[in-house]
């Protein structure tokens, strides 16, 4: 089958053009990597100077291809090409949204989120059509938008998907009191960034304004690398729950306090962390991680009286995740009882598993197929163990994702990698997916969920 993309002029979509686009993506990943709060690491968190600088760079790249750009009321950076109508452009057409996030974890890699935003810009560059007035438009019955989400990771305030939750109309008022490590509230950070908390509702998009959301992202796992394949269709995005634990015992002298009277919070919390690992290892669909762990008062010669630690718990389905959470909390209760400790867990983030829209899975599959030799096996289908903005957007539109090979699956780490060739293959695949979608009837497009 001739791929739709091969019907476009080689001067636009030929291998040289796609290679140019991939080179631009890789080079811009380096540019964005330099926009960091740290001189020796990559860190770009929500409502920071680096967030503003990253948005400004992305806005410039969006405008460069003729997109109208704006920063929404939650700090997401958006670009739009209206749909080419009969006589001009149709400013009311629903949009297919492409993109990912520009924020990072601490000491991040260069590609998590970033590569998806930049690939989206290149796909729009390839598929846009010129207008008589010198502008550009989407050739489809839908507009094309690129969104650089502002806070997918939740690094600064602990609650993830803030930018995409605002777009999905799922903002929670009790988030305003969230504080960062310096004690700055989310509300104060909004004001400092130049955003008005009272206008957060303006970021919301309604289902009828959207055709769907398509995101390219590195796999953040080793499966494609092990399979020797560049791309995969994402079937679903794992559910997530995040907790902040406090384990309390009694701070006592490290020398004079016999073991028989100790209530050592660190040992209780350590047993809890090992329990998470044991229970999750026994489950193939649930993954638990204790990523933060701090003992107080934290002196070498004092038995720790308190430990604060985090739990990141994910499951292919909400039910799997919640059943293991029940078992984890029951065992932690028993550990605390045996050690004379008190514990509490505050849930700071929860997102349900999201099944990717069947039609979007199909067009991503066709897009990947267009990059494979005739007779090749079907593309890999992977459920995402990493969280993504699509978890929030699924509340208002259909979500599709494509994974790129991520050597060793190393991610959330400076050694995170993606190959330029795989980015080129991904650009071609996702462009084909959009072209396939463009050929669907309006009735079909309205049913994407």
Out of 54, 212, 221, 387, point to the residue binding ligand HGY (CB under 6 A).
387
Enter the DSSP assignment of 378. Answer: P
**Nearer to Mn ion among residue 105 and residue 429 (C-beta):** 105
Backbone angles phi, psi at 120, to 5 degrees: -60, -45
Query: What is the distance between the terminal CA atoms of the chain, rounded to a whole angstrom?
Result: 27
Decide if 82 contacts 137 (C-beta within 8 A). Answer: yes
Residue 402: contacted member of Mn ion, ligand HGY, none (CB under 5 to 8 Å, by partner type): none
Cβ 164 to ligand HGY shortest distance, Å: 11
**Nearer to Mn ion among residue 271 and residue 416 (C-beta):** 416
Decide if 156 contacts 37 (C-beta within 8 A). Answer: no
**Nearer to Mn ion among residue 252 and residue 412 (C-beta):** 412
Site for Mn ion in 8-27 (CB under 5 A): none
Kindly give, in sequence order, each residue whose CB lies less than 8 Å from that of residue 414, ignoring residues fewer than 6 positions away.
41, 42, 107, 108, 109
Residue nearest to ligand HGY (CB): 386
CA distance 62 to 74: 19
**Nearer to Mn ion among residue 94 and residue 113 (C-beta):** 113
Binding mask 93-122 for Mn ion (x = CB under 5 A): -------------------xx---------
Decide if 414 contacts 267 (C-beta within 8 A). Answer: no
**Nearer to ligand HGY among residue 72 and residue 152 (C-beta):** 152
Task: Give the count of beta carbons closer than 10 Å to the beta carbon of residue 352.
Answer: 15
**Nearer to ligand HGY among residue 152 and residue 248 (C-beta):** 152
Cβ 152 to ligand HGY shortest distance, Å: 5
Residue 264: contacted member of Mn ion, ligand HGY, none (CB under 5 to 8 Å, by partner type): none
Site for ligand HGY in 234-273 (CB under 6 A): none
Q: What is the 3-state secondary structure (H, E, C) of 159-207?
A: CCCHHHHHHCCCCCHHHHHCECCCCCEHHHHHHHHCCCHHHHHHHCCCH
153 touching ligand HGY, by CB under 6 A? yes
Site for ligand HGY in 89-148 (CB under 6 A): 112
Whats the size of the chain, residue-wise?
449
Cβ 416 to ligand HGY shortest distance, Å: 11
The answer for 220, left when phi > 0, alpha when psi is -120 to 50, beta otherwise, is: left
386 touching ligand HGY, by CB under 6 A? yes
**Among 104, 105, 123, 106, residue whose Cα is nearest residue 114:** 104
**Nearer to ligand HGY among residue 48 and residue 100 (C-beta):** 100
Cβ 234 to ligand HGY shortest distance, Å: 13
Q: From 35-43, 152-160, 287-295, 332-340, give the range in contact with ligand HGY by CB under 6 A.
A: 152-160
CA distance 144 to 154: 27
Cβ 390 to ligand HGY shortest distance, Å: 11
**Among 127, 109, 175, 119, residue whose Cα is nearest residue 148:** 119
Cβ 116 to Mn ion shortest distance, Å: 8
152 touching ligand HGY, by CB under 6 A? yes
Residue 387: contacted member of ligand HGY, Mn ion, none (CB under 5 to 8 Å, by partner type): ligand HGY
**Nearer to ligand HGY among residue 252 and residue 412 (C-beta):** 412
Kindly give, in sequence order, each residue whose CB lies less than 8 Å from that of residue 217, ignoring residues fewer than 6 positions away.
100, 112, 113, 115, 116, 384, 386, 388, 401, 402, 403, 404
Positions touching ligand HGY (CB under 6 A) are: 112, 152-153, 160, 386-387
Q: Using CB under 5 A, list all residues that contact Mn ion.
A: 112-113
């Amino acid at each position: 089958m001739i791929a739709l993309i091969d019907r476009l002029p080689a001067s636009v979509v030929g291998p040289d053009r796609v290679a140019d686009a991939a080179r631009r993506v890789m080079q811009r990943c380096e540019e964005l990597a330099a926009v960091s709060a740290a001189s020796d690491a990559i860190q770009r968190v929500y409502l920071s100077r680096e967030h503003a600088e990253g948005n400004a760079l992305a806005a410039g790249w969006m405008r460069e291809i003729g997109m109208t750009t704006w920063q929404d009321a939650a700090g997401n950076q958006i670009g739009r090409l209206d749909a080419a109508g009969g006589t001009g452009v149709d400013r009311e057409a629903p949009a297919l949204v492409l993109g990912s996030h520009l924020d990072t974890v601490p000491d991040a890699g260069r590609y998590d989120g970033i590569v998806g935003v930049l690939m989206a810009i290149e796909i729009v560059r390839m598929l846009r059509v010129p207008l008589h007035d010198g502008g550009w438009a989407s050739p489809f019955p839908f507009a094309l938008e690129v969104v650089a989400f502002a806070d997918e990771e939740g690094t600064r305030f602990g609650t993830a998907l803030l930018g995409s939750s605002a777009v999905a109309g799922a903002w929670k008022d009790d988030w305003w009191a969230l504080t960062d490590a310096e004690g700055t509230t989310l509300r104060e950070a909004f004001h400092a960034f130049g955003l008005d908390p009272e206008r957060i509702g303006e970021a919301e998009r309604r289902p009828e304004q959207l055709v769907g959301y398509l995101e390219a992202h590195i796999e953040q796992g080793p499966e494609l690398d092990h399979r020797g394949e560049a791309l995969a269709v994402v079937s679903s995005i794992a559910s997530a729950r995040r907790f902040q634990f406090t384990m309390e015992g009694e701070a006592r002298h490290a020398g004079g306090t016999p073991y028989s009277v100790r209530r050592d919070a660190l040992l209780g919390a350590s047993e809890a962390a090992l329990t998470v690992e044991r229970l999750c290892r026994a489950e193939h669909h649930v993954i638990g991680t204790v990523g933060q762990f701090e003992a107080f008062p934290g002196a070498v010669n004092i038995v720790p009286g308190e430990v604060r630690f985090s739990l990141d718990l994910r499951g292919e389905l909400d039910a799997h995740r919640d059943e293991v959470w029940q078992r984890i909390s029951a065992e932690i209760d028993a550990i605390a009882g045996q050690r004379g400790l008190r514990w509490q867990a505050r849930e700071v983030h929860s997102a349900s598993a999201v099944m990717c829209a069947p039609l979007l899975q199909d067009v991503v599959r066709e897009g990947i197929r267009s990059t494979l030799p005739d007779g090749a096996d079907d593309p890999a289908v992977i459920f995402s163990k990493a969280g993504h903005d699509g978890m929030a957007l699924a509340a208002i539109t259909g979500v599709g994702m494509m994974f790129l090979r991520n050597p060793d699956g190393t991610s959330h780490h400076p050694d995170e990698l993606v190959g330029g060739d795989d980015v080129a293959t991904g650009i071609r695949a996702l462009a084909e997916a959009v072209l396939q979608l463009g050929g669907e009837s309006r009735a079909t497009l309205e049913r994407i969920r």
